[in-house]
Amino acid sequence: MADVTFYRDEALPFLEAKRCRKSDLAYQKHFHEEHSLGLIDEGETQAWCEGMLWRVESGRMINFPPHMLHACQPAENADWKYRMLFIKPEWLEHIELPHLHHLQIPFLLEDGKNNACRTLFNRTMDSLVRNESSLEIETALIELMHMLIIKHESDIVHEPHGALKQKYVNRVKEYIHAYYKDRITLETLEQETGVGRYHLIRLFKKSTHLPPHAYQNLLRINHAKIELKKQRPIAEIAVDTGFYDQSHFTKAFARIVGATPQTYALSI
């Protein structure tokens, strides 16, 4: 693997990820146009930001708002590996996260908050690296940004309830049932319902106990089981059900069915 690798999804032009495994790579003072989130995987670094110097050790996350001057110097004689997410501010404004102003200062996270955000950071990064669906990547990113800015349960914006809420959830379900083989995005679901993607995810999960991408994958796997019973080639079914490749399909199938597609097909 290269010392520095970048990851992107063409359906999500507002997001870029970076993985660095180069221990001697130091950065002079600079800033990004994007909102930047970093996670130190190994080693530690001294992070300078607008006159302040912070020690950022392994397992710790740090946040830099757009255009904020900063620099990083890894500790000597130590492996330094880290990952970054770069998020365009226009996307953050569009999804209408509450308390977005909390992100306008640089900060390190306290232990409990850091652990929760690190889990969501890893989920977002892993989804992008594995080329998961755009729906899954953006959902993970929204959940990460929500966790970053929220302080108390009382900070959560009140959501519509009752028939209106169920109307939005039902519309999302209808759309996913109709197009579950396609690469559905949150932007598409937002356009279909007229509800912002941040609130849409929360409504859908509250009603179904699943995020939209997981619901879509269940439909794909159920369809695949029917096709496997027809003894169709597994690679053909993987493409037909909308998975990136056979390996991706096999992992998703095993997580839900408890067996690989081949084992399932041979047992019929």
Tens-digit pLDDT profile for residues 66-119: 888 888 877 776 677 899 999 999 998 888 777 777 676 666 777 788 899 999
Closest C-alpha among 93, 94, 9, 82 to residue 40: 82
Instruction: Provide, rounded to the nearest whole percent, the portion of the chain with pLDDT above 90.
Output: 49
Q: 9: which 2 tokens?
A: 């999804």
Helix axes 212-228, 197-208, angle to 10 degrees: 60
Q: Say if residues 242 and 184 touch (Cβ distance below 8 Å).
A: no
Phi, psi at 143, each rounded to 5° = -65, -35
Separation between Cα atoms, residue 36 and residue 98, nearest integer Å: 19
Compute the distance between CA of residue 127 and CA of residue 9 in angstroms, rounded to an integer. 10
Q: Higher-confidence residue: 24 or 36? A: 36
Global pTM?
A: 0.79
Burial class (CB within 10 angstroms; exposed 0-12, middle 13-18, buried 19+) of 124:
buried
Task: For residue 110, give the DSSP letter.
Answer: P
| Distance in angstroms (rounded) separating the CA atoms of residues 145 and 135 | 16
Answer with the residue of higher pLDDT: 110 or 36. 36
Residue with tokens 């232990």: 111
Q: Is the pLDDT of residue 11 over 50?
A: yes
Amino acid at 255: R
Q: How far apart are CA 161 and CA 169, in angstroms?
A: 11
Domains in the chain, please, with CATH? 4-149 (2.60.120.280), 158-209 (no CATH), 215-266 (1.10.10.60)
- Helices 162-179 and 197-208 sit at what angle, rounded to 10 degrees? 90
Average pLDDT over residues 236-262: 90
Structure tokens at 83: 């990952």
Residue-level pLDDT at 25: 60
Specify the pLDDT at position 93: 87
Task: Using a pLDDT cut of 70, give the percent of the chain over it.
Answer: 88
Q: What is the pLDDT of residue 106?
A: 64
Coil vs helix vs strand at 132: coil
At residue 219, the pLDDT reads 92
Q: How far apart are CA 215 and CA 204, in angstroms?
A: 10
Strand spans (E) along the chain: 4-7, 15-20, 27-30, 35-42, 44-49, 52-57, 61-64, 70-74, 81-87, 107-108
* Residue 235: pLDDT band with limits 50, 70, 90: very high
Average pLDDT over residues 219-239: 92
Is pLDDT larger for residue 148 or for residue 267?
A: 148
Residues whose CB falls within 8 Å of the CB of residue 58, separated by 6 or more in sequence, listed in order? 40, 41, 42, 43, 44
What is the mean pLDDT of the segment spanning 29-55?
86
pLDDT tens readout for residues 111-166: 788 899 999 999 999 999 998 999 999 999 999 998 888 754 333 333 444 566 78
Q: Which of 162-166, 168-172, 234-238 has the lowest mean pLDDT?
A: 162-166
Confidence of residue 23 (pLDDT cuts 50, 70, 90): low
pLDDT in tens, 180-202: 999 999 999 999 999 999 989 99
Question: How confident is the prediction for the chain on average, in pLDDT?
Answer: 85
